[in-house]
Chain A
Amino acid sequence: MTAADRDPPALPPGLRERVLAASLRARAVGRPVPDAPEISAAEAYRRAAGAFYEVLCFLGDLDWRTPVLRGLDVQGLVGHLIGVEDDVRRCLSGAPEVADASHVESTQAAAIGQAGRPPALTRADWRRAADCTLHLVRSADPGTQVAMHGMRLSLGALLVVRAFELWIHENDIRKAAGWAASVPDASTLRLMTELAARLLPHAAARVGVAERVDVRLVLTGPGGGTWDVTVGGGAAAPAAVSIVTDAVGFCRLVGNRVTPADLDLHVTGDSGRAAAVLAAASTLALD
């Protein structure tokens, strides 16, 4: 054992600041390693649609009739998604009636209308509707503001929401068919986590998180990252909480398919306020 071991010298003053500053020059806060290649929102939607269609192609006749969500069987759920694509088309053409239409009620007729049809026709109709969306957004400015199903957001954000919904429902169908769950590629996931983190204050406001919370949200694994978001308001002293969890798990929470109890969570700070933030996150789902 050396003298240094017995009595380790104190760190020289200023070293901490110097080292941390040099580190942050090497990589910006919040950027994950490895970083996923950037893709456009339209590309994320295209990939999610491709994965969804692939699953539809594998379903047997019995699978199409398996109950999956809100009393719908798989075919009805695909019908719901045909209805959503129709509303996207109407939204992009400026039809005002879809701006505040209910996500479920507005598409219910399309969902129910699939009953008794050959599954191949439902599948082909969905593919056509998704292709129509892809065609419409190909030359559109992703920054264009649109309004649909109670959301006011950019076209780019809407496409990420749509990719999110397709992935969630793809997994609803996988679960109904007894297949393993899927995970989006890191680039798509990164767009989803980014959007979910950005929408967290809105979700908290909607469910009435009264006390102000400064949240450090750390989503680990591919597609993850780090975000500082402030949610809530009010006069009470702000609390700082840190929530660390897996990016995919968090997206499933936002999609309302798991609860906070299902996540591998590491929370520091006020656990009650962290729970309120997580509960708010799960209300972002359109279902």
Chain B
Amino acid sequence: MIATPSRLCLEDRPTAQAISEHCPATVRRASVLGVGGTDAVLAARLAAGDDHALEEIFDALARVVYCSALRVLGDDSAAQDVVQDVFVELWAHPDRYDPVAGTLRTYLAVLARHRAVDMVRSELRRVARQERSYRLMPAPPSAGAGDKVMAAETASLVRAAVQLLPASQRHVIELAYYQGLTYREVAHAVGIPEGTAKSRLRLALAKLEEILDRQLLEPS
């Protein structure tokens, strides 16, 4: 707290401690330049709005980002979207990268992997929703060949992950998602209260996501 000037003037000559309290050298976050290293300088330039730094980083590391995304997604177009997301994120929020914590290369590769995993997750949810709605529709519209391959690969990943669930959780997932039963029907089929069926399904889905994340994040 800075005391008011009038009060300060009435005081006796201050001690060194009082001076440091009342007339402090403004504490700044250490300049990134002070940390040293090329990545730190690049990060400082990004934060200062130097787009040439962004171009340099793109030229040096875009392939790393692209490959990182491609390994998870296996799809060129989606990997390009991840590259765009990652570099826009770096430019818009350069302060989220801490050069002390690691290299820019690692930061961008991890960011790309996370974005790619997020993309797979949302694709899984989309496919799951689509599968359920297909069952309710008499004549589902035909998808393109690429979509069918992607959906088949994703569905196969999910089925493999379902096999890793505990038996009780696997059973409710199969009833709800593969046989299209409602919560009430699942509860009736398994012989448990409806609330228990709901919570068991929630647990099973959480566990499923965890398994899928682990699979996707493990190095190929």
Contacts and interface: CB of A to CB of B under 8 A. Distances in A.
Nearest to B10: A57
A33 B53 CA distance: 14
B94 to A, nearest CB: 6
A133 B217 CA distance: 63
Interface string A2-17: 1011001111100110
A30 B51 CA distance: 8
Interface in B1-55: 2, 5, 8-9, 13-14, 18-20, 22-26, 28-29, 31-34, 41, 44-55
Nearest to B43: A220
Nearest to B70: A4
A221 B95 contact: no
B5 A220 contact: no
B183 interface: no
B47 A180 contact: no
A9 B91 CA distance: 24
A23 B28 contact: no
A248 B70 contact: no
Contacts of A10: 63
B188 interface: no
A70 to B, nearest CB: 24
B25 A11 contact: no
Please indicate which of the listed interface residues A185, A220, A225 has the most CB atoms of chain B within 10 Å of its own CB.
A220
Contact of B92 (A27, A216, A244): A27
Contacts of B71: 2, 4
A261 interface: no
B32 A220 contact: yes
Interface stretch (B80-88, B116-124, B126-134): B80-88
B88 A22 contact: yes
A11 B8 contact: no
Contacts of A30: 49
B67 interface: yes
A184 B26 contact: yes
Given A15-B62, A29-B51, A248 B2 contact: no
Contact of B25 (A15, A31, A180): A180
A266 B183 CA distance: 64
Contacts of A219: 48
Contacts of B26: 182-185
A19 B22 CA distance: 48
A interface, how many residues as a size bin? Answer: 35 or more
B40 to A, nearest CB: 10
A244 B23 contact: no
Contacts of A224: 47-48
Given A15-B62, A23-B88, A27-B92, A220 B49 contact: no
Given A11-B66, A12-B76, A218 B8 contact: no
Given A12-B80, A26-B91, A182-B26, A19 B62 contact: yes
A20 B49 CA distance: 13
A12 B66 CA distance: 10
B216 to A, nearest CB: 14
Interface stretch (A48-56, A78-86, A100-108, A135-143): A48-56
B95 A58 contact: no
A226 interface: yes
Contacts of B177: none
A2 B220 contact: yes
B178 interface: no
Nearest to B64: A8
Nearest to B47: A33
Contact of B48 (A174, A184, A225): A225
B23 A174 contact: yes
Nearest to B220: A2
A246 B34 CA distance: 9
B159 interface: no
Contact of A54 (B20, B22, B28, B51): B22
Given A27-B92, A220-B47, 5 more contacts: A23-B87, A32-B49, A55-B23, A182-B25, A246-B33
Interface of B: 2, 5, 8-9, 13-14, 18-20, 22-26, 28-29, 31-34, 41, 44-55, 58-59, 62-64, 66-67, 70-71, 76, 80, 83-84, 87-88, 90-95, 220
By Cβ-Cβ distance, the 5 closest A-B pairs, closest first, are: A180-B25, A220-B44, A23-B91, A183-B26, A26-B92
